[in-house]
Amino acid sequence: MRNETAHHPAGLSRRTLLRAGALGGAALAATPFITACQPAQNPASPAPSSPASAARTARRLTLSWWTDIGFPSPFAFIPLGPGGVVRVSMLYDTLTWKDEHGIIPWLAEKWQISSDGLEYIFTLRPNVPWHDGHPLTADDVAFSFMYYRQHAFPWGSSDMVERAEASDARTVHIHLNRPFAPFLENVAGLLPILPRHIWEPVSDPLKFATPDAVIGSGPFKFGSYKEGAGEYQFDAHAAYFRGRPTVDTLRYVVVPLAQGVVGLQTHAADAILTTDYTVMTALGQGPHYRTLQTPPFSIMRLIFNVDRPPFDQKPFRQAIAYALDRQQIGERVIHGNVTLGNPGVIPPGSPWYNPDVPQYPFDPARARTMLDSLGYRVNASGIRTMADGSPLTLDFLADPAAADGEIVRLMLKDVGIDLRTITADAKTRTDIQKTRRFGMALTSHIGVGGDPDFLRRWYANQAYNSFEDGNVLHSDDFTRLANQQVAEQDVTRRKAIVNQMQAVLAEELPTLPLYHRPFYWLYDPSAYQGWFNTWGGIMDGIPLVDNKLAFLSGGA
């Protein structure tokens, strides 16, 4: 057994980065167990602002989101985007957490991992209280993991957990039914630990929406929620194990994306999120407002329903890729700072990014030639036809508020492909995606900057974020690789497998990333400072900046 103290190492190699960030050191185990609680650095991420040097106290801080995300219990929040799960993280804690360098101890002060990756032993911090004053113990942790076996967490899975048991008040043993490489990040760092004395009698957690359902151990206590209005108030937990939060009252209000700047200028919110580069350049570099840019871990992409003709033809999907000037689409929509979409899906800036995959430069002449060879001829109206002479008109599901959809439609019309655009609200669109009642869909979401197992989950129909739904791929090679990487305990070998997965995706093209985009966190520095970027995104890859560490003394 080898003991390692948690610290923030500098100058990590790429191999060490991957080892520490993805496996917490498990790949180095030569003895039955190792102790691994070392954070990792991500040299590819933009440098964070320095929370320690900024004014980081506020009596009241108001943040914005653009929709109601439901009652903020671990089961009742709405997984339509990451707003809900991030809100829950303010009330509830997890065994591990992440700062700007990597995975760090949280409720667990240290852990051990068996060499086969099938057992994790967590030692909890002493004297951690629940919001109601009861002590948090290993029994609560064991109960939580077993409760999630019966009632799935909406933003994650723990189906690899076979059993969990407490051996004393501060030690919990978690046994897996199969090795799961991203366990520390995507399970231990994601699942909220529940108070057993409250949740044990609850048989239907979706209907449990009383004040007891939001008693956690997190830095904030539940204050109020206005259903439908999307207004939340959380109050500082004075007895928090990391110290009282630097914000007394944290509020979330609904501010539509298109009205974000107005909301900031009228003080409806103290910070807003935007993807528009011109907003950042116009407002975010002066004395009144400042900006923190996240890595480009949000993606705008087309999903092809490969079970529906003509999208079942790989050359047809590739022809669409050549027909689209993806750089221009990004420039016209987010107005600058565009990162061209990686056909392998994982974006630049991630340590898992594979730059050596097939590319599809803008080449409309090549697209026309490929479509001609597939037998889709252009009629007198300039529209391609099928073998029976009927127009090739394809259903295209898109967000009515996304300008990308109309640009895609016009670019494809230029090569003779006619699109019938179908628009709907977010809930309806995600329902259509989930049931695959579309030909081609335009979607944007986060979550592509964290552990690469999301690639497996997409094509195993295990998406957490509703906007990720709709993927299908019939590839034995991809399935084999996906199953290998999630079990692989050696980080170097796992990276090689993930590279191969990206190569398959780039060749088969079941989805076409148009571009990767950063978020711009535009904030009023007189209200609050000290925001920073989380390594790989909060929890399982959420590139937002309201990490609970931003509200704690000393920050990250």
Edge-to-edge strands, sheet with 108-114: 33-35, 108-114, 119-124, 171-176, 161-168
Which comes out higher in pLDDT, residue 47 or 458? Answer: 458
First-to-final CA distance of the chain? 29
The answer to whether the beta carbons of residues 527 and 246 sit under 8 Å apart is: no
Average pLDDT over residues 45-53: 38
Q: In whole angstroms, what is the distance from residue 516 CA to residue 448 CA?
A: 9
Which comes out higher in pLDDT, residue 280 or 72? Answer: 72
Quote the pLDDT of residue 301. 98
pLDDT in tens, 460-479: 999 888 899 999 999 999 99
Quote the pLDDT of residue 159. 95
Q: Give the containing element (helix H, strand E) for 64.
A: strand 58-65
Quote the pLDDT of residue 30. 31
Quote the pLDDT of residue 535. 94
> 3-class DSSP state for residue 280?
helix
Rounded to 5°, angle at Cα 100 from 354 and 144 = 95
Q: In whole angstroms, what is the distance from residue 129 CA to residue 296 CA?
A: 37
In the chain, the percentage of residues whose pLDDT exceeds 90 is 84
Q: In whole angstroms, what is the distance from residue 530 CA to residue 539 CA?
A: 19
The C-alpha torsion from 344 through 426 and 447 to 406, rounded to 10°, is: 40
Average pLDDT over residues 214-232: 97
Quote the pLDDT of residue 32. 54
Quote the pLDDT of residue 128. 98
Quote the pLDDT of residue 34. 52
Residue the block writes with tokens 């990333």: 513
Would you place residue 48 in the very low, low, confident or very high pLDDT band (cuts 50, 70, 90)? very low
Average pLDDT over residues 232-260: 96
Quote the pLDDT of residue 287. 82
Of residues 190, 186, 174, the one with CA closest to residue 120? 174
Tokens of 390: 């009927």
Would you place residue 556 in the very low, low, confident or very high pLDDT band (cuts 50, 70, 90)? low
List, as one string, the DSSP characters of 17-44. HHIIIIITTGGG--SSEEE-------TT
Count Cβ atoms below 10 Å from residue 114 Cβ, excluding itself. 19
Would you place residue 555 in the very low, low, confident or very high pLDDT band (cuts 50, 70, 90)? low
Which comes out higher in pLDDT, residue 553 or 299? Answer: 299
Q: In whole angstroms, what is the distance from residue 194 CA to residue 215 CA?
A: 8
CA atoms within 13 A on the CB side of 8: 10
- Residue 480 CB contacts under 8 Å (≥ 6 apart), including other chains: none
Tokens of 529: 């400072």
Angle formed by the axes of helices 314-323 and 404-413, to 10°? Answer: 110
CA atoms within 13 A on the CB side of 60: 10
List, as one string, the DSSP characters of 446-481. --SSS-TTHHHHHHTT--SSGGG-------HHHHHH
| Domains along the sequence of the chain with CATH | 1-44+93-208 (3.90.76.10), 51-92+218-294+519-556 (3.40.190.10), 298-517 (3.10.105.10)
In the chain, DSSP finds a helix count (H) and a strand count (E) of: 15, 22
Q: Which residues pair with 366 in a beta bridge?
A: none
The two most distant CA atoms of the chain are separated, in Å, by 79
Quote the pLDDT of residue 258. 86
Quote the pLDDT of residue 153. 97
The answer to whether the beta carbons of residues 64 and 272 sit under 8 Å apart is: yes
- Residue 375 CB contacts under 8 Å (≥ 6 apart), including other chains: 386, 387
The answer to whether the beta carbons of residues 181 and 487 sit under 8 Å apart is: yes
In the chain, the percentage of residues whose pLDDT exceeds 70 is 90
Quote the pLDDT of residue 1. 32
Q: Prior bond to 310 cis, omega within 30? A: yes
Q: In whole angstroms, what is the distance from residue 454 CA to residue 223 CA?
A: 34
Quote the pLDDT of residue 374. 97
Q: Which residues of 450-477 are buried (b: 16+ CB within 10 A; e: fewer)?
A: bbbbbbbbbbeeebbbbbbbbbbbebee
Angle formed by the axes of helices 326-334 and 404-413, to 10°? Answer: 150
Is it the case that residue 380 has pLDDT exceeding 80?
A: yes
Average pLDDT over residues 473-493: 97
Tokens of 466: 């509703």
Of residues 85, 92, 84, the one with CA closest to residue 66? 84
- Residue 270 CB contacts under 8 Å (≥ 6 apart), including other chains: 61, 62, 63, 264, 523, 524, 527, 528
The answer to whether the beta carbons of residues 440 and 411 sit under 8 Å apart is: no
Residue 76, CA distances (Å) to 72, 92, 111, 130, 398 in order: 6, 14, 30, 20, 27
pLDDT in tens, 57-108: 889 999 999 999 999 999 999 988 899 999 999 999 999 999 999 999 999 9
